[in-house]
Amino acid sequence: MDQAANLRKLTEGTTNLKLVPNQARPMTKIIAIASGKGGVGKSTLSVNLAIAIAKAGHKVLIFDGDLGLANINVLLGIIPKYNLYHVVKGHKSLKDIIIQTQDGVDIIAGASGYSQLANLNDTQRNNLIKGFADLDNYDYMIIDTGAGISSNVIGLVMPADEVIVVTTPEPTAITDSYGLIKSIVSQTKDKNLKILVNRVRSAIEGKKVADRVIDISGQFLEVQVENLGFIFQDEEVEKSIREQKPYITNSPRSKAAACLTRITHTLLQTENTDSDTEGLAGFIKKFFSFVDYREKELEDRMNEDEDSPTDKG
């Protein structure tokens, strides 16, 4: 039996997968999905992983944090009437804009073209904090961050309980994934970091790429990165994107879906300790605290450069 067939067996009975049952409901667990560069399949993974977790019996919210290029609703074939922009402006509450999808997950649509969530005034920030404070009934929130290492991206990653860094076997993607991990570690070494290799041609290639990122992160950053797994290159994924139908539901017996089922199993089997983000309101407060700190840090650095003596020869 080939590796694809072995993985496909894991998809059988996916809808009956009940892992880590909720006793007393813990705080919402926040998983940030990030990448060092664009085009590695991060948003597609965010959507399909969220649906897979929902199929396991959990209530899941997707937050489209890729604010300048909001893609989550596009991948699901949804045209939102309202989005995060309307919440920031005080026209709608966060609950008002949440979209319940036929795939069993709820989404907060990003505000395309409104790229700097960090640059909000106090009233706009309070609108968001109040909105997130009202969302206390989700087991998981999946954040699809933007690509790269901007303040918006790192700010969304820092308060998360777990961070999944997505890469592909391409050398530039591997290099940029390490750059992202380095940026995160420069702020804290306590993050729960995982690497996921997308679009691999074989299991051996997936392991080789993950091991490379893990080894260089351990050697040069002294941080432990966990190998979450890999997803095969699969035409069904490309088809699902074109048709705006997630492959985990539209092609459940595909190689990619089998891989994702295995990844979901691994993720949910991890001890589900309570979130330390003080709920979703605490999460967004920490985001604002971080971006304010980064802005002040940048200002101080610029002031130091202006005050430093120059060599006039």
Which CATH number covers residue 106? 3.40.50.300
Domain that holds residue 217: 26-298
What is the mean predicted confidence (pLDDT) over 205-219?
98
Asked if residue 3 is part of any domain, the answer here is no
Q: With helix as H, strand as E and coil as C, how does the chain read?
A: CCHHHHHHHCCCCHHHCCCCCCCCCCCCEEEEEEECCCCCCHHHHHHHHHHHHHHCCCCEEEEEECHHHCCHHHHCCCCCCCCHHHHHCCCCCHHHHCEECCCCCEEECCCCCCCCCCCCCHHHHHHHHHHHHCCCCCCEEEEEEEECCCHHHHHHHCCCCEEEEEECCCHHHHHHHHHHHHHHHCCCCCCCEEEEEEEECCHHHHHHHHHHHHHHHHHHHCCCEEEEEEEECCHHHHHHHHHCCCHHHHCCCCHHHHHHHHHHHHHHHCCCCCCCCCHHHHHHHHHHHHHHHHHHHHHHHHHHHHHCCCCCC
Could you report the per-residue pLDDT of 119-138, keeping only the tens digit for each?
A: 788 888 888 899 999 997 99
Could you report the per-residue pLDDT of 94-113, keeping only the tens digit for each?
A: 999 999 999 999 999 987 66
Asked if residue 277 is part of any domain, the answer here is yes
Asked if residue 12 is part of any domain, the answer here is no
Q: For the whole model, what pTM was predicted? A: 0.87
Could you report the per-residue pLDDT of 42-70, keeping only the tens digit for each?
A: 999 999 999 999 999 999 999 998 876 77
Asked if residue 19 is part of any domain, the answer here is no
